[in-house]
Structure 1
Amino acid sequence: MLLVLSDEHKEHLAFLPEVDSAVVGEFGRIAVEFLRKGSTPKIYEGAARKLNVSADTVQHGVEGLMYLLSESSKLMISEVDFQDSVLVLGFPEDLNRLLLQLYLDHRKEIRQILSELAPSLPHYHNLEWRLDVMLASRALRHQVKPTVSLKLHLESGGDHIARVLQTDPATLLHLIQELERALAEAKTNHCRRILRNIK
């Protein structure tokens, strides 16, 4: 799978061939550090003074490198695909090798950082249900409607959460039909093609 870079990202990375390979390596280290702790404008200003360029140019270069490394790590691009993705930028061969080495050195760490940044969503653990029906009552003159009570147990980061839901059987049947229709839609060729492109 090749990584497709927008024109804006290509423009941000166009600054890299103008600097020494040691500077590109330092930019890679800064990019990983920024993924860990967030960016600090002071670093951009210090590097800009040393390189005699604007702070925005340095910031765009580091952010472009950060995007290249994080997207490549997120998609677990192979070495060959990474080289082919970077080849489009038109960089010299030694810079392409340096970028590949940066990627190989930091991809596991970047994947770890990205997994920690992902939100922890609650997930299904257990479901209890009960059907409540009043069989007879002298006070009720109209038809009795049954109620379905659901107790949904969720886990979120080691915590257990319970949610109680109540509905009538007709609404529950409608919900089941909609979910079955959504599952059937997920199996269509059109949806599979979209999912392949997302991965």
Structure 2
Amino acid sequence: MLLVLSEEHKEHLGFLADVDPLVVGEFGRIAVEFLKKGSNPKIYEGAARKLSVPAETVQHGVEGLMFILTESSKLMISELDFQDSVLVLGFSEELNKLLLQLYLENSKEVRRILSGLAPSLSHYHNLEWRLDVQMASRVMRQQVKPTVTLKLHLESGDARCARVLQTDPATLQHLIQELERALAEVKSNHCRRILRNIK
């Protein structure tokens, strides 16, 4: 799978072809640090003074490197695909090798950082259910009204919470059919291909 770079990204990364490869290596280190701790404009200004370029140019270069590292790590691009992806930038062979080395050295760290940024969602812990049926009443002598009450226990980290849901059997049956259809879809070849690329 190749990484797709927009014209804007290519323009921002084009600045890296004009600087020393050691500077690009330092920009890569800064990009990983910014992923961990956030952006710091003072670093852009200091690097811009040393290179005699506008701070915005340095910022775009570092952000372009961050984009390449995060997207490549997220998609777990192979070495060959990474090299093919950066070929469109028109960099020298030495700079392409440096970018590949930067990607290989930092991909696990970047994936760890990105997984830490993902929202923590509650997940299933337990389910209790009860079926209530009103057999008859003075008002409705012939009508039976069943209700299903579900108590869904969720877990998020160390915290647990419970949600109470109530529905009729027809709606519950429809929900079950939709969930079974979704599970069947996950087993399809198309979904497997997508999930393989996400991981």
TM above 0.5, yes or no, is yes
Equivalent pairs, count: 199
Map 1:137-152 onto structure 2 (within 5 A). 137-138=137-138, 141=141, 143-152=143-152
1:50-83 CA deviation, whole Å, 9 max, x = no partner?
1111111111100000000111111111211111
1:83-102 CA deviation, whole Å, 9 max, x = no partner?
11111211000001111111
Query: 2:80: which partner in 1?
Result: 80
Query: 2:45: which partner in 1?
Result: 45
Give SS of 1:14's match. Answer: helix
Q: Shift of residue 25 of structure 1?
A: 0.9
Letter in 2 for 1:126: N
Query: 2:92: which partner in 1?
Result: 92
1:93-148 CA deviation, whole Å, 9 max, x = no partner?
00011111111111111111011001111112222211011234446557241110
**Could you say if the C-alpha distance between residues 116 and 194 of structure 1 is closer, same or farther in structure 2, counting changes exceeding 3 Å?**
closer
Structure 2 gaps, min length 5: none
1:127-172 CA deviation, whole Å, 9 max, x = no partner?
2211011234446557241110011122212322211100111221
Identity of aligned residues (%): 81
Letter in 2 for 1:12: H
Task: Let me know the Cα RMSD of the aligned residues.
Answer: 2.2
Structure 1 gaps, min length 5: none
Q: Shift of residue 48 of structure 1?
A: 1.0
How many angstroms apart in 1 are the aligned matches of 2:180 and 2:116?
33
Map 1:114-193 onto structure 2 (within 5 A). 114-138=114-138, 141=141, 143-183=143-183
TM-score, normalisation: structure 2: 0.89
